[in-house]
Amino acid sequence: MCGMSAPMVNEAHCAHILVKTQKEAKELKERAASGEDFGELARQFSSCPSRSEGGDLGWFGPGQMVKPFEHAAFAGSPGDLVVCRTQFGWHVIKIIEQR
C-alpha cells in the first residue's frame, strides 16, 4: 500500500461510564464535553464497578475488551469522548492515552 497510514495503536488507556440507555449516554457525553469532570460523572452514574475509580479502566490491549468497546477505544484519539453499545449497555468512553 502506498501513502501514509495511521500509527498502529497497541494499547489504550480509557475511562468509561456504563448506563442502560443511549439517551443517558449521549447526555453524559455532552456534560463531559462541556467541561464537567468525567470521573465525577462516572462515580455518580456508571453501573460498572470501575465507577469507584472514576471509570478508569487502565491500559488494555487487543482482545481484552468486547469488540465494540475495543473498536471505539482504538479508532478514536486521545481526548475523544465516544459512545458505543455492547451487550453490557451503553458506554461513554474517554480515551485518555494510546501507545
Amino acid at 68: P
Which parts of the chain are beta strand (E)? 12-19, 56-60, 81-86, 89-98
pLDDT in tens, 2-16: 444 455 678 999 999
CA torsion, ordered 62, 67, 69, 75, to nearest 10 deg = 70
pLDDT in tens, 62-79: 999 999 999 999 999 999
Please, what sign has the CA dihedral across residues 66, 93, 83, 62? negative
- Give the model's pLDDT for residue 3: 44
- Give the model's pLDDT for residue 7: 55
CATH for 12-98 is: 3.10.50.40
pTM exceeding the 0.85 threshold for the entire prediction:
yes
